Protein backbone atom coordinates (compact mmCIF):
# COMPACT_ATOMS: atom_id res chain seq x y z
CA UNK A 1 0.00 0.00 0.00
CA UNK A 2 1.44 3.39 -0.94
CA UNK A 3 2.30 5.76 1.88
CA UNK A 4 1.35 9.37 2.35
CA UNK A 5 2.62 11.52 -0.49
CA UNK A 6 3.22 15.24 -0.45
CA UNK A 7 3.90 17.60 -3.32
CA UNK A 8 5.97 19.50 -3.98
CA UNK A 9 8.89 18.35 -1.83
CA UNK A 10 10.69 21.66 -1.98
CA UNK A 11 9.45 25.16 -2.63
CA UNK A 12 10.99 28.62 -2.65
CA UNK A 13 8.73 31.66 -2.45
CA UNK A 14 9.13 35.33 -1.69
CA UNK A 15 7.40 37.37 0.99
CA UNK A 16 3.85 38.33 0.17
CA UNK A 17 3.26 35.43 -2.19
CA UNK A 18 0.89 32.59 -1.50
CA UNK A 19 1.51 28.87 -1.66
CA UNK A 20 -0.55 25.69 -1.92
CA UNK A 21 0.72 22.34 -0.66
CA UNK A 22 -0.86 19.01 -1.49
CA UNK A 23 -1.20 15.78 0.46
CA UNK A 24 -2.50 12.41 -0.69
CA UNK A 25 -3.31 10.11 2.23
CA UNK A 26 -2.92 6.37 2.42
CA UNK A 27 -5.73 4.66 0.56
CA UNK A 28 -8.73 4.27 2.86
CA UNK A 29 -7.61 6.91 5.32
CA UNK A 30 -10.15 9.67 5.74
CA UNK A 31 -8.44 11.85 8.32
CA UNK A 32 -5.65 14.21 7.28
CA UNK A 33 -3.70 16.43 9.64
CA UNK A 34 -1.14 19.13 8.91
CA UNK A 35 1.82 20.17 11.02
CA UNK A 36 4.47 22.84 10.80
CA UNK A 37 7.96 21.88 11.94
CA UNK A 38 10.64 24.46 12.65
CA UNK A 39 13.88 24.24 14.63
CA UNK A 40 12.67 26.82 17.13
CA UNK A 41 9.06 25.76 17.68
CA UNK A 42 9.24 22.04 17.02
CA UNK A 43 6.17 20.28 15.66
CA UNK A 44 3.05 22.40 15.76
CA UNK A 45 -0.43 21.25 14.82
CA UNK A 46 -2.15 23.28 12.11
CA UNK A 47 -5.46 21.54 11.45
CA UNK A 48 -7.17 18.23 10.87
CA UNK A 49 -9.72 17.34 8.23
CA UNK A 50 -12.12 14.42 8.21
CA UNK A 51 -14.66 13.74 5.49
CA UNK A 52 -14.10 17.18 3.96
CA UNK A 53 -14.75 18.98 7.27
CA UNK A 54 -12.24 20.69 9.50
CA UNK A 55 -12.37 18.79 12.77
CA UNK A 56 -9.58 20.42 14.77
CA UNK A 57 -7.58 23.60 14.44
CA UNK A 58 -4.33 24.76 15.98
CA UNK A 59 -3.29 28.28 16.95
CA UNK A 60 -2.25 29.71 13.61
CA UNK A 61 -3.38 32.93 11.94
CA UNK A 62 -6.08 32.95 9.31
CA UNK A 63 -3.43 33.12 6.58
CA UNK A 64 -3.18 29.36 7.02
CA UNK A 65 -6.10 27.48 5.58
CA UNK A 66 -6.86 24.05 4.26
CA UNK A 67 -9.42 21.88 2.64
CA UNK A 68 -10.12 18.25 1.93
CA UNK A 69 -11.65 16.78 -1.18
CA UNK A 70 -14.10 13.91 -1.53
CA UNK A 71 -11.24 11.51 -2.30
CA UNK A 72 -9.61 12.52 1.02
CA UNK A 73 -6.76 14.39 -0.66
CA UNK A 74 -6.00 17.60 1.16
CA UNK A 75 -4.45 20.92 0.40
CA UNK A 76 -3.19 23.65 2.65
CA UNK A 77 -2.75 27.23 1.61
CA UNK A 78 -0.67 29.98 3.11
CA UNK A 79 -1.38 33.48 1.90
CA UNK A 80 0.79 36.58 2.25
CA UNK A 81 3.88 34.59 3.12
CA UNK A 82 6.21 35.81 5.83
CA UNK A 83 9.84 34.90 6.45
CA UNK A 84 8.76 33.03 9.58
CA UNK A 85 6.65 30.66 7.49
CA UNK A 86 9.82 28.92 6.33
CA UNK A 87 9.44 25.41 7.66
CA UNK A 88 8.89 21.76 6.92
CA UNK A 89 5.17 21.14 6.47
CA UNK A 90 4.14 17.62 7.32
CA UNK A 91 0.93 15.87 6.45
CA UNK A 92 -0.31 12.80 8.31
CA UNK A 93 -3.23 10.49 7.59
CA UNK A 94 -5.15 8.02 9.71
CA UNK A 95 -8.17 5.76 9.53
CA UNK A 96 -11.68 6.76 10.59
CA UNK A 97 -12.24 7.55 14.21
CA UNK A 98 -13.75 4.44 15.74
CA UNK A 99 -15.12 4.30 19.23
CA UNK A 100 -12.38 2.87 21.41
CA UNK A 101 -10.01 2.55 18.47
CA UNK A 102 -6.52 3.96 18.14
CA UNK A 103 -5.91 6.11 15.13
CA UNK A 104 -2.24 5.88 14.36
CA UNK A 105 -1.01 8.74 12.23
CA UNK A 106 1.23 8.01 9.28
CA UNK A 107 3.36 10.86 8.04
CA UNK A 108 4.44 11.93 4.60
CA UNK A 109 7.98 13.10 3.82
CA UNK A 110 7.01 16.76 4.09
CA UNK A 111 7.25 19.85 1.93
CA UNK A 112 10.16 22.12 2.75
CA UNK A 113 9.14 25.75 2.20
CA UNK A 114 11.69 28.53 2.08
CA UNK A 115 10.42 32.10 2.10
CA UNK A 116 12.89 34.73 0.92
Partner 1 sequence: GDSVTQMEGPVTLSEEAFLTINCTYTATGYPSLFWYVQYPGEGLQLLLKATKADDKGSNKGFEATYRKETTSFHLEKGSVQVSDSAVYFCALRATSGTYKYIFGTGTRLKVLA
List residues near partner 1 by CB under 8 A: 4, 6, 33, 35, 42-43, 45, 48, 55-56, 90, 92, 97, 100, 102-110
Report the residue number, 67 or 106, with the smaller CB distance to partner 1: 106
**CA–CA separation, 34 and 60 (whole Å):** 12
Q: Which is nearer to partner 1, 60 or 106 (CB)?
A: 106
Length of the chain: 116
Nearer to partner 1, 90 or 113 (CB): 90
DSSP string of 62-90, one letter each residue: TTEEEEE-TTS-EEEEE-S--GGG-EEEE
Minimum distance from residue 102 beta carbon to partner 1 (Å): 5
Amino acid sequence: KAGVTQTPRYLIKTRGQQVTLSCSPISGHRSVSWYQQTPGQGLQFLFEYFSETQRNKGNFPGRFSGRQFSNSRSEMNVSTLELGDSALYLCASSLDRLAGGVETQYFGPGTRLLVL
